[in-house]
Structure 1
Amino acid sequence: MAHLQEIFRFLEIPSGPLADNVAASVAMYCRQFHPQGLQREDLVLLIARAFSAINDRHIAKRALTSMKPHSRHVERWLDILSELDHFPQLLPYFSLGVIRPADWAGAQLDRMWTLDFSLLKLSDAEKHEMMLYKTIRAIVDHMYVFWDATSGEGVLGLKGLDSFNIEPDRKLKQTLTQRHDLLEYIADLFARQKTGRDWKAIPALLNLDL
Protein backbone atom coordinates (compact mmCIF):
# COMPACT_ATOMS: atom_id res chain seq x y z
CA MET A 1 0.00 0.00 0.00
CA ALA A 2 2.88 2.37 0.73
CA HIS A 3 4.10 2.02 -2.87
CA LEU A 4 0.60 2.73 -4.15
CA GLN A 5 0.32 5.82 -1.98
CA GLU A 6 3.58 7.13 -3.43
CA ILE A 7 2.22 6.67 -6.96
CA PHE A 8 -1.03 8.38 -5.96
CA ARG A 9 0.98 11.38 -4.76
CA PHE A 10 3.04 11.40 -7.96
CA LEU A 11 -0.17 11.43 -10.02
CA GLU A 12 -1.59 14.17 -7.77
CA ILE A 13 -4.64 12.09 -6.90
CA PRO A 14 -6.48 13.80 -4.01
CA SER A 15 -6.51 11.85 -0.77
CA GLY A 16 -9.81 10.78 0.72
CA PRO A 17 -12.27 7.87 0.86
CA LEU A 18 -12.39 7.47 -2.94
CA ALA A 19 -8.62 7.25 -3.26
CA ASP A 20 -8.50 4.83 -0.32
CA ASN A 21 -11.12 2.59 -1.92
CA VAL A 22 -9.30 2.57 -5.26
CA ALA A 23 -6.00 1.78 -3.57
CA ALA A 24 -7.65 -1.07 -1.68
CA SER A 25 -9.15 -2.52 -4.87
CA VAL A 26 -5.79 -2.35 -6.68
CA ALA A 27 -4.06 -3.98 -3.72
CA MET A 28 -6.66 -6.76 -3.68
CA TYR A 29 -6.17 -7.35 -7.41
CA CYS A 30 -2.42 -7.60 -6.87
CA ARG A 31 -2.79 -10.10 -4.03
CA GLN A 32 -5.15 -12.25 -6.08
CA PHE A 33 -3.36 -12.29 -9.43
CA HIS A 34 0.19 -11.09 -8.80
CA PRO A 35 1.25 -12.08 -5.27
CA GLN A 36 4.88 -12.04 -6.38
CA GLY A 37 4.67 -8.26 -6.81
CA LEU A 38 4.46 -5.86 -9.74
CA GLN A 39 6.55 -3.18 -11.38
CA ARG A 40 5.65 0.49 -11.05
CA GLU A 41 4.28 0.70 -14.60
CA ASP A 42 1.97 -2.24 -13.87
CA LEU A 43 0.55 -0.44 -10.85
CA VAL A 44 0.04 2.80 -12.77
CA LEU A 45 -1.94 0.94 -15.42
CA LEU A 46 -4.04 -0.77 -12.75
CA ILE A 47 -4.73 2.62 -11.17
CA ALA A 48 -5.86 3.94 -14.55
CA ARG A 49 -8.11 0.91 -14.95
CA ALA A 50 -9.63 1.38 -11.50
CA PHE A 51 -10.48 5.05 -12.04
CA SER A 52 -11.81 4.34 -15.52
CA ALA A 53 -14.11 1.70 -14.02
CA ILE A 54 -15.72 4.33 -11.78
CA ASN A 55 -16.00 6.76 -14.72
CA ASP A 56 -13.28 9.09 -13.50
CA ARG A 57 -11.67 9.38 -16.91
CA HIS A 58 -9.79 12.52 -15.92
CA ILE A 59 -7.57 10.72 -13.43
CA ALA A 60 -7.41 7.64 -15.66
CA LYS A 61 -6.08 9.85 -18.47
CA ARG A 62 -3.57 11.44 -16.11
CA ALA A 63 -2.22 8.02 -15.19
CA LEU A 64 -1.99 6.89 -18.81
CA THR A 65 -0.35 10.13 -19.91
CA SER A 66 2.41 9.57 -17.35
CA MET A 67 3.41 6.37 -19.16
CA LYS A 68 5.50 6.81 -22.29
CA PRO A 69 4.11 3.90 -24.36
CA HIS A 70 0.53 4.90 -23.58
CA SER A 71 0.58 8.69 -23.73
CA ARG A 72 0.29 8.79 -27.54
CA HIS A 73 -2.91 6.74 -27.62
CA VAL A 74 -4.71 7.61 -24.38
CA GLU A 75 -8.23 7.50 -25.81
CA ARG A 76 -7.74 4.04 -27.29
CA TRP A 77 -6.29 2.76 -24.03
CA LEU A 78 -9.31 4.06 -22.13
CA ASP A 79 -11.51 1.97 -24.41
CA ILE A 80 -9.73 -1.29 -23.59
CA LEU A 81 -8.76 -0.89 -19.93
CA SER A 82 -11.58 -3.23 -18.92
CA GLU A 83 -9.76 -6.02 -20.77
CA LEU A 84 -7.24 -6.10 -17.93
CA ASP A 85 -9.83 -7.78 -15.75
CA HIS A 86 -9.89 -10.79 -18.04
CA PHE A 87 -6.21 -11.20 -18.88
CA PRO A 88 -4.12 -10.77 -15.72
CA GLN A 89 -1.30 -12.80 -17.28
CA LEU A 90 -0.88 -10.11 -19.92
CA LEU A 91 -0.63 -7.17 -17.52
CA PRO A 92 3.18 -6.78 -17.84
CA TYR A 93 2.85 -6.71 -21.63
CA PHE A 94 0.00 -4.20 -21.49
CA SER A 95 1.92 -1.93 -19.11
CA LEU A 96 5.06 -2.00 -21.25
CA GLY A 97 3.01 -1.29 -24.37
CA VAL A 98 4.14 -4.58 -25.94
CA ILE A 99 0.45 -5.40 -26.42
CA ARG A 100 -1.73 -2.40 -27.14
CA PRO A 101 -4.89 -1.47 -29.01
CA ALA A 102 -4.44 -0.96 -32.72
CA ASP A 103 -3.61 2.64 -33.55
CA TRP A 104 -3.51 2.69 -37.33
CA ALA A 105 -6.15 4.45 -39.43
CA GLY A 106 -9.47 2.61 -39.57
CA ALA A 107 -8.57 0.13 -36.83
CA GLN A 108 -11.51 -1.47 -35.03
CA LEU A 109 -10.90 -1.87 -31.31
CA ASP A 110 -12.88 -5.08 -30.94
CA ARG A 111 -10.71 -7.04 -33.33
CA MET A 112 -7.45 -5.24 -34.08
CA TRP A 113 -4.41 -5.25 -31.80
CA THR A 114 -0.71 -4.42 -31.97
CA LEU A 115 2.13 -6.61 -30.71
CA ASP A 116 5.29 -4.50 -30.48
CA PHE A 117 8.38 -6.64 -29.99
CA SER A 118 10.66 -3.60 -29.89
CA LEU A 119 9.33 -2.85 -26.39
CA LEU A 120 9.78 -6.40 -25.10
CA LYS A 121 12.45 -6.69 -22.44
CA LEU A 122 14.39 -9.93 -22.85
CA SER A 123 16.62 -11.40 -20.20
CA ASP A 124 20.03 -12.72 -21.22
CA ALA A 125 18.65 -16.26 -20.95
CA GLU A 126 15.92 -15.42 -23.45
CA LYS A 127 18.35 -14.11 -26.06
CA HIS A 128 18.71 -17.51 -27.65
CA GLU A 129 16.55 -19.11 -30.32
CA MET A 130 14.96 -21.81 -28.17
CA MET A 131 14.05 -19.46 -25.32
CA LEU A 132 12.94 -16.76 -27.74
CA TYR A 133 10.64 -19.30 -29.38
CA LYS A 134 9.07 -20.10 -26.00
CA THR A 135 8.72 -16.43 -25.04
CA ILE A 136 6.89 -15.52 -28.23
CA ARG A 137 4.56 -18.48 -27.91
CA ALA A 138 3.81 -17.67 -24.26
CA ILE A 139 2.68 -14.18 -25.27
CA VAL A 140 0.71 -15.18 -28.36
CA ASP A 141 -1.00 -18.09 -26.58
CA HIS A 142 -2.67 -15.59 -24.24
CA MET A 143 -3.87 -13.39 -27.11
CA TYR A 144 -6.09 -15.82 -29.03
CA VAL A 145 -9.05 -15.00 -26.80
CA PHE A 146 -9.05 -11.45 -28.18
CA TRP A 147 -10.61 -12.77 -31.39
CA ASP A 148 -13.03 -15.34 -29.99
CA ALA A 149 -15.94 -12.89 -30.03
CA THR A 150 -15.39 -12.23 -33.74
CA SER A 151 -14.86 -15.92 -34.66
CA GLY A 152 -11.27 -15.23 -35.58
CA GLU A 153 -11.90 -12.19 -37.76
CA GLY A 154 -9.44 -9.40 -37.13
CA VAL A 155 -5.87 -8.23 -37.45
CA LEU A 156 -2.73 -8.44 -35.36
CA GLY A 157 -0.27 -5.71 -36.27
CA LEU A 158 3.35 -6.63 -35.62
CA LYS A 159 6.10 -4.13 -34.91
CA GLY A 160 9.77 -4.54 -34.12
CA LEU A 161 10.23 -7.93 -35.76
CA ASP A 162 13.83 -7.03 -36.52
CA SER A 163 14.42 -6.57 -32.80
CA PHE A 164 15.02 -10.30 -32.66
CA ASN A 165 18.03 -10.25 -34.94
CA ILE A 166 20.02 -11.02 -31.84
CA GLU A 167 22.54 -13.13 -33.70
CA PRO A 168 23.05 -11.10 -36.90
CA ASP A 169 26.33 -12.76 -37.83
CA ARG A 170 25.00 -16.27 -37.63
CA LYS A 171 25.51 -18.17 -40.89
CA LEU A 172 22.49 -20.48 -40.67
CA LYS A 173 20.00 -19.74 -43.43
CA GLN A 174 16.98 -20.36 -41.22
CA THR A 175 16.69 -18.82 -37.78
CA LEU A 176 13.83 -17.61 -35.63
CA THR A 177 15.60 -14.30 -35.31
CA GLN A 178 14.78 -13.38 -38.90
CA ARG A 179 11.65 -11.37 -39.72
CA HIS A 180 10.09 -13.76 -42.25
CA ASP A 181 10.63 -16.78 -39.98
CA LEU A 182 8.92 -15.00 -37.11
CA LEU A 183 5.95 -14.08 -39.29
CA GLU A 184 5.60 -17.68 -40.46
CA TYR A 185 5.87 -19.00 -36.92
CA ILE A 186 3.23 -16.64 -35.51
CA ALA A 187 0.94 -17.30 -38.49
CA ASP A 188 1.23 -21.03 -37.83
CA LEU A 189 0.33 -20.55 -34.16
CA PHE A 190 -2.86 -18.75 -35.17
CA ALA A 191 -3.73 -21.26 -37.90
CA ARG A 192 -3.65 -24.09 -35.37
CA GLN A 193 -6.35 -22.36 -33.30
CA LYS A 194 -9.07 -22.26 -35.96
CA THR A 195 -10.61 -25.68 -35.36
CA GLY A 196 -10.21 -25.85 -31.60
CA ARG A 197 -11.68 -22.38 -31.04
CA ASP A 198 -14.37 -22.80 -33.71
CA TRP A 199 -13.16 -19.75 -35.61
CA LYS A 200 -14.59 -19.03 -39.05
CA ALA A 201 -11.47 -17.07 -39.98
CA ILE A 202 -7.89 -16.57 -38.82
CA PRO A 203 -6.63 -13.15 -37.69
CA ALA A 204 -4.50 -11.59 -40.40
CA LEU A 205 -0.96 -10.53 -39.58
CA LEU A 206 0.12 -7.05 -40.60
CA ASN A 207 3.79 -6.11 -40.56
CA LEU A 208 3.70 -2.50 -39.39
CA ASP A 209 7.42 -2.00 -40.01
CA LEU A 210 7.03 -2.03 -43.80
Structure 2
Amino acid sequence: MRAAAFHTLERQDPWKVHLQEVFAALEIPPGTMADNVAASVAMYCREFHPGGVQRTDLALLIARAFCAVNDRAAAERVLGSMQPHSRHVARWLEILSELHHFPLLLPYFSLGIIRPAEWAGAQVDRMWTLDFGRLALSESERHEMMLYRSIRAIIENMFVFWDATEGEGVLGLKGLAALNVEEGSRCKQTLTATDDLLEYMADLFRQQMQHRNWQSVPSLMNLDF
Protein backbone atom coordinates (compact mmCIF):
# COMPACT_ATOMS: atom_id res chain seq x y z
CA MET A 1 0.00 0.00 0.00
CA ARG A 2 2.78 2.42 0.94
CA ALA A 3 4.65 1.57 -2.25
CA ALA A 4 1.55 2.22 -4.35
CA ALA A 5 0.99 5.58 -2.65
CA PHE A 6 4.63 6.50 -3.20
CA HIS A 7 4.43 5.73 -6.91
CA THR A 8 1.20 7.74 -7.20
CA LEU A 9 2.87 10.81 -5.69
CA GLU A 10 5.93 10.25 -7.84
CA ARG A 11 3.83 10.37 -10.99
CA GLN A 12 2.12 13.61 -9.99
CA ASP A 13 3.32 16.79 -11.66
CA PRO A 14 4.50 19.11 -8.84
CA TRP A 15 3.63 22.18 -10.90
CA LYS A 16 0.11 20.97 -11.59
CA VAL A 17 -0.43 20.06 -7.95
CA HIS A 18 0.77 23.51 -6.87
CA LEU A 19 -1.47 25.23 -9.41
CA GLN A 20 -4.48 23.27 -8.23
CA GLU A 21 -3.72 24.48 -4.70
CA VAL A 22 -3.49 28.06 -5.97
CA PHE A 23 -6.83 27.69 -7.76
CA ALA A 24 -8.43 26.33 -4.60
CA ALA A 25 -7.09 29.27 -2.55
CA LEU A 26 -8.58 31.68 -5.11
CA GLU A 27 -11.87 29.75 -5.08
CA ILE A 28 -11.63 28.98 -8.79
CA PRO A 29 -14.05 26.08 -9.37
CA PRO A 30 -12.42 22.76 -10.28
CA GLY A 31 -13.27 21.15 -13.59
CA THR A 32 -12.02 20.41 -17.07
CA MET A 33 -11.27 24.07 -17.84
CA ALA A 34 -9.24 24.56 -14.67
CA ASP A 35 -7.39 21.28 -15.26
CA ASN A 36 -6.50 22.30 -18.81
CA VAL A 37 -5.26 25.70 -17.67
CA ALA A 38 -3.20 24.11 -14.90
CA ALA A 39 -1.65 21.67 -17.38
CA SER A 40 -0.86 24.48 -19.82
CA VAL A 41 0.75 26.75 -17.23
CA ALA A 42 2.63 23.80 -15.71
CA MET A 43 4.08 22.88 -19.10
CA TYR A 44 5.15 26.49 -19.70
CA CYS A 45 6.81 26.75 -16.29
CA ARG A 46 8.67 23.46 -16.71
CA GLU A 47 10.01 24.51 -20.10
CA PHE A 48 10.83 28.17 -19.56
CA HIS A 49 11.22 28.50 -15.79
CA PRO A 50 12.80 25.27 -14.55
CA GLY A 51 14.36 27.12 -11.62
CA GLY A 52 11.04 28.41 -10.34
CA VAL A 53 8.71 31.36 -10.89
CA GLN A 54 8.11 34.45 -8.80
CA ARG A 55 4.67 34.56 -7.19
CA THR A 56 3.52 37.60 -9.17
CA ASP A 57 4.86 36.12 -12.41
CA LEU A 58 2.91 32.92 -11.78
CA ALA A 59 -0.29 34.82 -10.99
CA LEU A 60 -0.05 36.78 -14.25
CA LEU A 61 0.67 33.58 -16.17
CA ILE A 62 -2.48 32.04 -14.69
CA ALA A 63 -4.57 35.12 -15.50
CA ARG A 64 -3.20 35.15 -19.04
CA ALA A 65 -4.04 31.45 -19.48
CA PHE A 66 -7.63 31.97 -18.34
CA CYS A 67 -7.95 34.94 -20.72
CA ALA A 68 -6.73 32.70 -23.54
CA VAL A 69 -9.64 30.30 -22.96
CA ASN A 70 -12.06 33.22 -22.52
CA ASP A 71 -12.69 32.57 -18.83
CA ARG A 72 -12.51 36.21 -17.81
CA ALA A 73 -14.22 35.57 -14.48
CA ALA A 74 -11.37 33.31 -13.33
CA ALA A 75 -8.76 35.72 -14.71
CA GLU A 76 -10.45 38.57 -12.86
CA ARG A 77 -10.37 36.57 -9.63
CA VAL A 78 -6.61 36.06 -10.03
CA LEU A 79 -5.91 39.72 -10.81
CA GLY A 80 -8.12 40.85 -7.96
CA SER A 81 -5.84 39.03 -5.53
CA MET A 82 -2.76 40.98 -6.66
CA GLN A 83 -1.38 44.37 -5.72
CA PRO A 84 -1.25 46.82 -7.41
CA HIS A 85 -2.92 44.95 -10.28
CA SER A 86 -6.29 44.81 -8.52
CA ARG A 87 -6.69 48.58 -9.05
CA HIS A 88 -6.89 48.14 -12.83
CA VAL A 89 -8.42 44.70 -13.36
CA ALA A 90 -10.37 45.72 -16.48
CA ARG A 91 -7.25 47.16 -18.10
CA TRP A 92 -5.23 44.05 -17.30
CA LEU A 93 -7.93 41.80 -18.73
CA GLU A 94 -7.87 43.83 -21.92
CA ILE A 95 -4.12 43.70 -22.43
CA LEU A 96 -3.74 40.06 -21.36
CA SER A 97 -6.37 39.10 -23.92
CA GLU A 98 -4.80 40.95 -26.86
CA LEU A 99 -1.06 40.86 -26.19
CA HIS A 100 0.76 38.23 -28.27
CA HIS A 101 4.26 38.75 -26.88
CA PHE A 102 3.22 38.54 -23.25
CA PRO A 103 6.22 36.40 -22.10
CA LEU A 104 8.64 39.16 -23.13
CA LEU A 105 6.90 41.69 -20.89
CA LEU A 106 6.07 39.38 -17.99
CA PRO A 107 8.99 40.50 -15.76
CA TYR A 108 8.12 44.16 -16.35
CA PHE A 109 4.44 43.55 -15.61
CA SER A 110 5.01 41.60 -12.42
CA LEU A 111 7.54 44.09 -11.00
CA GLY A 112 5.29 47.04 -11.75
CA ILE A 113 7.76 48.56 -14.21
CA ILE A 114 4.98 48.61 -16.80
CA ARG A 115 1.48 49.10 -15.44
CA PRO A 116 -1.83 50.72 -16.39
CA ALA A 117 -2.44 54.22 -15.14
CA GLU A 118 -5.16 56.82 -15.05
CA TRP A 119 -5.04 60.48 -15.90
CA ALA A 120 -8.02 62.79 -15.69
CA GLY A 121 -6.94 64.64 -18.84
CA ALA A 122 -6.81 61.53 -21.03
CA GLN A 123 -9.72 61.27 -23.48
CA VAL A 124 -9.15 57.56 -24.00
CA ASP A 125 -8.39 54.81 -21.55
CA ARG A 126 -4.93 54.12 -22.93
CA MET A 127 -2.51 55.49 -20.38
CA TRP A 128 0.34 53.31 -19.21
CA THR A 129 3.17 53.99 -16.81
CA LEU A 130 6.77 52.99 -17.47
CA ASP A 131 8.61 53.21 -14.16
CA PHE A 132 12.36 53.12 -14.70
CA GLY A 133 12.89 53.59 -10.97
CA ARG A 134 11.87 49.94 -10.50
CA LEU A 135 14.27 48.73 -13.18
CA ALA A 136 17.38 47.05 -11.75
CA LEU A 137 20.34 47.69 -14.05
CA SER A 138 23.45 45.55 -14.01
CA GLU A 139 26.87 47.17 -14.32
CA SER A 140 27.10 46.09 -17.95
CA GLU A 141 23.80 47.84 -18.67
CA ARG A 142 24.86 51.12 -17.11
CA HIS A 143 26.42 52.38 -20.33
CA GLU A 144 24.78 54.62 -22.89
CA MET A 145 24.67 52.13 -25.75
CA MET A 146 23.33 49.25 -23.65
CA LEU A 147 20.88 51.54 -21.88
CA TYR A 148 19.38 52.78 -25.12
CA ARG A 149 19.10 49.22 -26.40
CA SER A 150 17.22 48.22 -23.25
CA ILE A 151 14.84 51.17 -23.55
CA ARG A 152 14.20 50.40 -27.21
CA ALA A 153 13.44 46.74 -26.44
CA ILE A 154 10.90 47.71 -23.78
CA ILE A 155 9.20 50.42 -25.86
CA GLU A 156 8.98 48.23 -28.98
CA ASN A 157 7.00 45.66 -27.02
CA MET A 158 4.60 48.35 -25.80
CA PHE A 159 3.53 49.73 -29.20
CA VAL A 160 0.62 47.29 -29.36
CA PHE A 161 -0.96 48.99 -26.34
CA TRP A 162 -2.02 51.90 -28.55
CA ASP A 163 -2.93 50.10 -31.78
CA ALA A 164 -6.66 50.05 -30.98
CA THR A 165 -6.68 53.86 -30.67
CA GLU A 166 -4.42 54.43 -33.70
CA GLY A 167 -1.67 55.81 -31.52
CA GLU A 168 -3.78 58.02 -29.29
CA GLY A 169 -2.98 57.74 -25.60
CA VAL A 170 -0.44 58.58 -22.93
CA LEU A 171 2.77 57.03 -21.67
CA GLY A 172 3.67 58.28 -18.22
CA LEU A 173 7.36 58.02 -17.36
CA LYS A 174 8.82 57.74 -13.89
CA GLY A 175 12.35 57.38 -12.57
CA LEU A 176 14.10 58.84 -15.61
CA ALA A 177 16.80 60.32 -13.39
CA ALA A 178 17.78 56.78 -12.38
CA LEU A 179 18.97 56.21 -15.95
CA ASN A 180 21.60 58.96 -15.84
CA VAL A 181 24.68 56.75 -15.90
CA GLU A 182 26.99 59.66 -15.11
CA GLU A 183 25.11 61.10 -12.16
CA GLY A 184 26.85 62.03 -8.94
CA SER A 185 30.32 63.46 -8.70
CA ARG A 186 31.17 62.93 -12.35
CA CYS A 187 30.08 65.86 -14.48
CA LYS A 188 30.74 64.28 -17.86
CA GLN A 189 28.19 65.22 -20.53
CA THR A 190 26.12 62.17 -21.49
CA LEU A 191 23.08 61.31 -23.59
CA THR A 192 21.21 59.85 -20.64
CA ALA A 193 19.84 63.10 -19.26
CA THR A 194 16.05 63.24 -18.98
CA ASP A 195 15.49 65.47 -22.03
CA ASP A 196 17.64 63.24 -24.24
CA LEU A 197 15.81 60.11 -23.11
CA LEU A 198 12.42 61.70 -23.72
CA GLU A 199 13.42 62.75 -27.22
CA TYR A 200 14.74 59.28 -27.99
CA MET A 201 11.50 57.62 -26.88
CA ALA A 202 9.38 60.18 -28.73
CA ASP A 203 11.33 59.39 -31.90
CA LEU A 204 10.67 55.65 -31.45
CA PHE A 205 6.94 56.36 -31.38
CA ARG A 206 7.06 58.72 -34.36
CA GLN A 207 8.73 56.01 -36.43
CA GLN A 208 5.68 53.77 -35.88
CA MET A 209 3.02 56.07 -37.34
CA GLN A 210 3.24 54.84 -40.92
CA HIS A 211 4.15 51.25 -40.06
CA ARG A 212 1.16 50.79 -37.73
CA ASN A 213 -1.25 53.16 -39.50
CA TRP A 214 -1.45 55.42 -36.48
CA GLN A 215 -3.11 58.81 -36.77
CA SER A 216 -1.15 60.17 -33.82
CA VAL A 217 1.44 59.07 -31.27
CA PRO A 218 1.10 58.64 -27.51
CA SER A 219 1.93 61.72 -25.49
CA LEU A 220 4.90 61.32 -23.17
CA MET A 221 4.49 62.66 -19.65
CA ASN A 222 7.33 62.97 -17.16
CA LEU A 223 5.59 62.01 -13.92
CA ASP A 224 8.57 62.93 -11.75
CA PHE A 225 7.49 66.57 -11.68
Normalised to the residue count of structure 2, the TM-score between the two structures is 0.74
2:187 aligns with one of 158, 162, 171: 171
> Whole-Å Cα distance in 2 between the matches of residues 100 and 190 of structure 1?
18
Q: In the superposition, relative to structure 1, how do residues 15 and 73 fare at CA in structure 2: closer, same or farther (>3 Å)?
A: same
- The reply to whether residue 151 of structure 1 matches residue 151 of structure 2 is no
1:83 aligns with one of 88, 98, 102: 98
Q: In the superposition, relative to structure 1, how do residues 7 and 171 fare at CA in structure 2: closer, same or farther (>3 Å)?
A: farther
1:181 aligns with one of 192, 196, 210: 196
SS state of the match for residue 156, structure 1?
strand
Identity of aligned residues (%): 57
Instruction: Give runs of aligned pairs for residues 40-119 of structure 1, distance below 5 A.
Output: 40=54, 41-52=56-67, 53-55=69-71, 57=73, 59-105=74-120, 107=122, 108-109=124-125, 111-119=126-134
2:37 corresponding residue in structure 1: 22
Deviates more, 1:136-145 or 1:151-160: 151-160
> Whole-Å Cα distance in 2 between the matches of residues 69 and 126 of structure 1?
27
> Whole-Å Cα distance in 2 between the matches of residues 151 and 18 of structure 1?
35
Deviates more, 1:127-136 or 1:114-123: 114-123
Q: In the superposition, relative to structure 1, how do residues 171 and 193 fare at CA in structure 2: closer, same or farther (>3 Å)?
A: same
> Contact 1:73–1:103 at 8 Å: present in 2 too?
no
> Whole-Å Cα distance in 1 between the matches of residues 187 and 87 of structure 2?
39
Shift of residue 203 of structure 1? 1.7
Shift of residue 15 of structure 1? 4.8
Instruction: Give runs of aligned pairs for residues 127-142 of structure 1, distance below 5 A.
Output: 127-142=142-157
> Whole-Å Cα distance in 1 between the matches of residues 178 and 16 of structure 2?
33
Structure 2 stretches of 5 or more lacking a match? 1-12
Shift of residue 188 of structure 1? 1.5
> Whole-Å Cα distance in 2 between the matches of residues 200 and 56 of structure 1?
31
Normalised to the residue count of structure 1, the TM-score between the two structures is 0.79
1:28-67 C-alpha deviation (Å, 9 max, x unpaired): 5x37xx943273232210212233454352x434432443
Structure 1 stretches of 5 or more lacking a match? none
> Contact 1:113–1:156 at 8 Å: present in 2 too?
yes
One-letter code aligned to 2:218: P
> Whole-Å Cα distance in 2 between the matches of residues 120 and 3 of structure 1?
29
Q: In the superposition, relative to structure 1, how do residues 36 and 79 fare at CA in structure 2: closer, same or farther (>3 Å)?
A: closer
> Contact 2:112–2:131 at 8 Å: present in 1 too?
yes
> Contact 1:7–1:44 at 8 Å: present in 2 too?
no
> Contact 1:48–1:60 at 8 Å: present in 2 too?
yes
Q: Across the two proteins, how many residue pairs are aligned to each other?
A: 204
Shift of residue 88 of structure 1? 3.6
SS state of the match for residue 158, structure 1?
strand
Q: In the superposition, relative to structure 1, how do residues 191 and 54 fare at CA in structure 2: closer, same or farther (>3 Å)?
A: closer
Deviates more, 1:69-78 or 1:154-163: 69-78
> Whole-Å Cα distance in 1 between the matches of residues 115 and 133 of structure 2?
13
1:36 corresponding residue in structure 2: 48
1:2 corresponding residue in structure 2: 14
SS state of the match for residue 23, structure 1?
helix
Structure with max Cα Rg:
2
Shift of residue 141 of structure 1? 1.4
